[in-house]
Amino acid sequence: MTENGGAELEFREAIRSALDEELARDERVILFGEDVAVAGGVFAVTTGLHEKYGSSRVFDTPISELAMTGAAYGAAISGLRPVLEIMFGDFLALSMDSLINQATKYWFLTQGRHSVPLVIRSVVGAGGRFGAIHSQMPISWLMGVTGLKIVAPSTPADAKGLLKASIRDDNPVLFFEHKRLYSARGPVGDDTEYVLGQAAVVREGSDVTLVSAMKGVHDCLAAADSLAEQGISAEVIDLRTVRPPDIATIVRSVEKTNRIVVVEEGPRTGGWAGEVLAAVTEEALGDLDDAWRIATPDSPIPYSPPLEDAFLPGSERIVAEVLSRP
């Protein structure tokens, strides 16, 4: 146990714990996807759940993302609360019709009479040498889809709390799990109620605001440590929910620091970092001395380890860019 009473869990264990508790709490919750049942998931996230809840609640599917998403949508509007795993976020493109044209529009088309309590979990992110089509960050594909929430946790505690909140939400949620965080450990309590759309200030500072999500939060914290050695106090904000972003929390920070950099693992063109900067600028224009974004190049993700490392916006680049600004 840790000092605050929470158990130390790996990120993957926290996800499993959330699924276990929600399956036990609500018999309408079901979990399905490729290899999530018998094999326990390719990243060992869902081990033991099939044995505990049986094949009617936790089951494997054929390899067809569109068919899986259509089934999840149908289950959601029929009274169940499905949690679907799309193994890699790169293949969400195969789910687009059921997700975007059906699930996210149903509440609107029924004038608010019928909800779609659907969660899609998916593994995202680079840094694991998975190559160009198993390492992408598909958030920018989906930022403009109204009716969709996008959740992106960085810690085991947030992974558990935000997944439980996502499963209890009455409309579609994309829940992204960064593959480079699965082995990260941290305290996970049982008594915190999470709300989607709330960011967290994970480090106080006064000179510059660093905003990110998922693994980028850890890069920002490492950069803040390095900047502190050079007399620069960086405040770090973990968005936790990328859509909708918690602009109010960021603006309060910027009113103090007057400088903001948004760090996104994803392409600069069309990325969520640009949307966050635009929203913050609209709200805090008079309080900004400097604002910019750090993102990946507009190119496919390389497989070569040194090229992939150079491709990603890590802590060293964050430090270098902060120091280079006037």
Catalytic site positions: 65, 134
Q: What is d(CA 10, CA 183) in angstroms, rounded to the nearest whole number?
A: 5
> Which tokens is 198 given?
């709330």
Positions of E strands within the chain: 7-10, 29-33, 58-60, 81-88, 119-124, 149-151, 173-178, 185-188, 200-203, 208-212, 234-238, 241-243, 259-267, 290-296
Contact 238, 203 (CB under 8 A): no
The answer to whether the beta carbons of residues 143 and 278 sit under 8 Å apart is no
CA nearest 279: which of 265, 266, 293, 297? 293
CB 142 within 8 A of CB 170: no
Q: Are strands 200-203 and 234-238 parallel, antiparallel or unpaired?
A: antiparallel
Burial of 214 (0-12, 13-18, 19+ CB in 10 A): buried
Q: What is the DSSP letter of 183?
A: T
> Which tokens is 77 given?
């509007």
CA geometry: angle 31, 63, 136, nearest 5 deg: 85
Helical spans, DSSP H, in 144-204: 156-168
